[in-house]
Chains A and B, each alone.
Chain A
Amino acid sequence: MSAVATALQKRRDEDRGALIGYLPAGFPTIDDSVEAAIAIARNGVDVIELGLPYSDPVMDGPVIQAATQQALANGFRLRDGFEAVRRITQEVDTPVLLMTYWNPVVQYGVERFADDLVESGGAGLITPDLVPDEGGEWIDASARTGLDRVFLAAPSSSDERLRQAIDASRGFVYAVSTMGITGARSDVDQAARTLVERLREAGVENTCVGLGISTAEQVREVNEYADGAIVGSALVKALGDGGVARVADVARELSEGTYRGR
């Protein structure tokens, strides 16, 4: 079973939801991003989503764009991403998924990327601009290496495409809460609830909801119907504003939302 699915199952067994926390590798520095990831893992985050900075992040809103742009300006290289995964997984047992746009994987070499991710202790990939239709090479490489692959499902996806995302994914299916890009929103859409219902009807085992979630209350709300809530921009902003201590505090607050019925 995948490490990510195991982590989600563990929470389910406790009648809790899960919290998935996103932070970009290399922001504000490599060391700080590693420290921050370890800190959120020790403060209630069940799965770490570590973003690889990319020059053209079309799914990301202003907070994450600014952070990843800064990481690149500081000289971030892909090898630093693998090194960050290694350092995080040496310290904590929390599974680490890399979130990456597709071109860096293509240029690194899909097979080599998979091998190096396994070797550094990573659990798999979230691929925001790779749909299963174009994902054959990655599906083969992840099947060979046992890595998780998280594809996205959107409110606009047809039933056929939801089934395709479920079949292609391993770990969980990333349910996009709303039509849009990353960034805090005051209310997470009803669309998310409907999408998760549709995914359930199509037979999904694990699905976590992301985009726009920034408060413990939203985490609690999402965990009423989904297997986990994904928080990104709120953590990135906390790290940027107040460093590792602040992001740890915010993670702990957010994780309060994983207790159902509180």
Chain B
Amino acid sequence: MALRQQTGPYFGDFGGRYVPESLVAALDELTEAWEQAKNDPAFQAELDELFATYVGRPSLITEVPRFAEHAGGARIILKREDLNHTGSHKINNVLGQALLTKRIGKTRVIAETGAGQHGVATATAAALFGLDCVIYMGEVDTERQALNVARMRLLGAEVVAVNTGSRTLKDAINDAMRDWVTNVEDTNYIFGTVAGPHPFPEMVRDLQKIIGEEAREQVLALTGALPTAVVACVGGGSNAMGIFHAFLDDEDVSLWGYEAAGDGAETPRHAATITKGRPGVLHGARSFLLQDEDGQTVESHSISAGLDYPGVGPEHSWLSSIGRANYRPITDAEAMSALRLLSRTEGIIPAIESAHALAGALKLGRELGPDAVILINLSGRGDKDMETAGRYFDLIDQGAEQS
């Protein structure tokens, strides 16, 4: 079977539905609604119309030769999800799930968010469709992504700062699940990544795979061939699944996911789930997981709030286990260096999340050599990260550093 045909609930040994019984009916309802919607031309047409007139799809590809000089001379092409409305790939998924929410007749949506990009996208869709919206965000993240909190509130969403556990994305997911269990009658959970219980990994992938489908055609048109390698950052893994999916059965195209290694994958402070974790059950699915001997989830660390997650989507665990995709760690320092490099060589400020993919491509280009063509998913823009970057590079109130 073609790898692209793989559906949930199981991806090899991974996936499933490890949830309280109270949620099963809602998951069944979503699964059935999604099956119907994705085969309904009217649903697809409505989504396509939104993509064209609201999101700005198809997103561009941009070749970045000055950046590529630092990558061993390989050709580097960016898929510009950063140019989407709301600033990242997250809007692709959210619009689909918001349409689905209306289809199943629910009036309230909830979502978790780490960096705030999925929360902003969900708040945006809720505003567009007139849905009530509550966003759960770890208290730590509300502090490091204060601008996105303000954006969500301006869009009319209620933002709940979650102060349990590690006060980051994983705890925001726990609280969103608790809300969903309680309010499932009128509430739909718009999950932000390709993790969680079935049908989320499959549904979110289906809604994000447009990234790779567009990029595959665009790169073919630009270069006359498929890329040598496709590269993305991986937290939960939705932008990576989105760009990988169209290439899964192109055997000559290698796939590279870059995980956040924080202070270093060999230190205790990282979020390199596939690199350093082992299989377990978290947030409704069996997948790779950062955990201790007893199966307690270990707190992850990354300068990037969007990658600061101790789990990963089950389809990535599967692709890693069968050797179809490669997963490598990128440290905070490597990512920030790549962020600055792209800014200075190409005039594009990437999100810190996406900067992990850029840093990975710099290494990969040197390995693959000048004949390689590397397609990178530039999943988001860096506006939300200016405070972090400003502090990191000591740019605030002291004039821009000129090195």
Interface residues of A (CB under 8 A from B): 54-59, 61, 65, 69, 72, 77-78, 102-108, 128-131, 133-134, 151-158, 161, 165, 176, 179-181
Q: Are B164 and A158 in contact (CB under 8 A)?
A: no
Q: Are A103 and B17 in contact (CB under 8 A)?
A: no
Residue B6, interface by CB 8 Å:
no
Question: Closest chain A residue to B176 by CB distance?
Answer: A58
Whole-angstrom distance between the Cβ of A15 and the nearest chain B Cβ: 30
A239 to B107, CA, bound (A): 40
Pairs A–B under 8 Å by Cβ, sample size 27: A54-B295, A55-B165, A55-B297, A56-B170, A56-B174, A58-B20, A59-B178, A59-B181, A65-B164, A102-B18, A103-B289, A104-B294, A108-B294, A129-B19, A131-B17, A131-B21, A134-B18, A152-B22, A157-B21, A158-B25, A165-B21, A176-B20, A176-B21, A179-B22, A179-B184, A180-B181, A181-B181
Q: Are B282 and A103 in contact (CB under 8 A)?
A: yes
Say whether, besides A103-B291, A106-B295, A58 and B22 are in contact (CB < 8 Å): no
Question: Closest chain A residue to B297 by CB distance?
Answer: A55
Total A-B pairs, Cβ < 8 A: 111
Q: Are B25 and A156 in contact (CB under 8 A)?
A: yes
* Residue of A104, A106, A130, A179 touching B181 (CB-CB under 8 A): A179
The range of chain B's interface size is 35 or more
Residue B60, interface by CB 8 Å:
no
The B interface is mostly helix, strand or loop, or mixed, namely: mixed
- Not counting A78-B295, A180-B182, a sample of 6 additional A-B residue pairs whose C-beta atoms are within 8 angstroms of each other reads A58-B283, A105-B295, A106-B295, A131-B24, A157-B25, A181-B182
Q: Are B20 and A152 in contact (CB under 8 A)?
A: yes
Q: Are A156 and B24 in contact (CB under 8 A)?
A: yes
Residue B372, interface by CB 8 Å:
no
Whole-angstrom distance between the Cβ of A242 and the nearest chain B Cβ: 24
Q: Are B294 and A69 in contact (CB under 8 A)?
A: no
A-B residue pairs, 10 tightest by C-beta: A107-B295, A156-B25, A154-B22, A180-B182, A104-B295, A103-B295, A152-B21, A55-B297, A103-B281, A55-B296
* Residue of A103, A106, A156, A158 touching B184 (CB-CB under 8 A): A156
Residue B280, interface by CB 8 Å:
yes
* Residue of A55, A58, A154 touching B177 (CB-CB under 8 A): A58
A106 to B287, CA, bound (A): 12
Q: Are A77 and B22 in contact (CB under 8 A)?
A: no
Contact bitstring B14-30, A, C-beta under 8 A = 1, else 0? 00111111101110000
**What residues of chain A lie closer than 8 Å to B283, measured between beta carbons?**
56, 58
Whole-angstrom distance between the Cβ of B201 and the nearest chain A Cβ: 15
Beta-carbon contacts under 8 Å, B133-168 to A = 164-165
**What residues of chain A lie closer than 8 Å to B26, measured between beta carbons?**
156
A58 to B19, CA, bound (A): 9
**What residues of chain B lie closer than 8 Å to A105, measured between beta carbons?**
295
Question: Closest chain B residue to A78 by CB distance?
Answer: B294
A58 to B286, CA, bound (A): 16
**What residues of chain B lie closer than 8 Å to A69, measured between beta carbons?**
164-165
Q: Are A56 and B165 in contact (CB under 8 A)?
A: yes
**What residues of chain A lie closer than 8 Å to B184, measured between beta carbons?**
156, 179
